A = this chain, B = another copy of it.
Amino acid sequence: MSSCFNGGISISLFGESHGKGIGVVLDNLPSGEVIDLEKIGAFMARRAPKKDGTSTTRNEKDIPEILSGLYEGRTTGTPLAAVIFNTDQHSGDYGNISHIARPAHADYTGFLRYNGANDPRGGGHFSGRITAPLCFAGAVCAQILKHRGITTGAHIQSIKDVADERFDPVNVTAEQLEQVKSRHFPTLSETAEEKMREVINAARMDLNSVGGIVECAVVGFPAGIGSPMMDGLENVISQLVFAIPAVKGIEFGNGFDCADIFGSDNNDDFTVRDGKIVTKTNNHGGILGGISSGMPIIFRAAFKPTPSISRPQNSVDFKDMTDRELIIKGRHDPCVVPRAVPCVEAALNIALVSALLKNPRI
């Protein structure tokens, strides 16, 4: 299934960039959960295009209309469905390129996969727009987690070669996560923000684009949730994070760096602190054997530069198999990373609620 996730909860995403509407159905949510629609709006606003030059100038209000699953402000436990009606498409912008594969986009692979029947306008179902209902689902899950004292949050770890500070993997707090989420441009360091904005603006002026890394943390997640082998927390989080277009890598804890240090330095010693078992360091990123250890969960996802750049590019017309020069028109993000931050959180939140619901206590 392309756009279904079936774990402790089910998510079914739908929609195309230039279709009538996009949305999501969430099945098997716990019942009776109070859902604050303003907080959902705030979550989704973090994904909306910024008015500061770092993203597209498209006007995506993206206000979800909830059709079912909420009654008197609480989840019913039966399927929760939300729709966002598309309103600001300029389909004309795409008319001339429908058979010329935009490099690093899914035009060509999608054409093959669906035998040419998929909606090519704006990438169709491959569009980054489908992360809007993903964020809606993630915003609902964020509240379910919050009711249980669990906070998730992410920041821009890097844009091109400009790095932010990192979360302290042992001592990161819910307050820090809330604080960085409240920032318009979510970095831990204000200096990093400034430099990152410069890099993005420079890329935009140069008709180019840049990528970056998002770092995500979870505080308050109980120990003992998850499973070994195929259904561990890393498995499910990564399965969901790769649903976000432009993600090319994911790493947990110290990630790829673990490959370059000795076991004696990588192993996190256990100790008892305040009557609770903790590790002194957190290279493992809060997950051992697919199961939460009670330490903060930490991971990072790498995003490629926005594929849509306004420079001439070399490509092919995949219908007549000829080489073509391609000029992409339209309004594009010079960097998707700032808007991707809540998307990563959303994928994570879905994975965590799913894992909680899969923990068998009968």
Contacts and interface: CB of A to CB of B under 8 A. Distances in A.
Contact of A289 (B11, B110, B229, B285): B110
A106 B15 contact: no
Listed residue (A31, A256, A263) with the most chain B CB atoms within 10 angstroms of its CB: A263
B302 A251 contact: yes
B6 A6 contact: yes
Q: How large, as a class, is the contact surface on chain A?
A: 35 or more
Copies in the complex: 4
A187 to B, nearest CB: 15
B289 A109 contact: yes
Contacts of A323: 271-272
A103 B270 contact: yes
Sorted nearest first, the 9 A-B pairs with minimum C-beta distance are A106-B289, A112-B224, A249-B251, A209-B263, A263-B305, A78-B125, A2-B227, A109-B291, A32-B117
A12 interface: yes
A253 B249 CA distance: 9
Interface in A175-219: 203, 208-213
A360 B268 contact: no
A8 interface: yes
Contacts of A203: 262-263
Contacts of A103: 267-270, 279
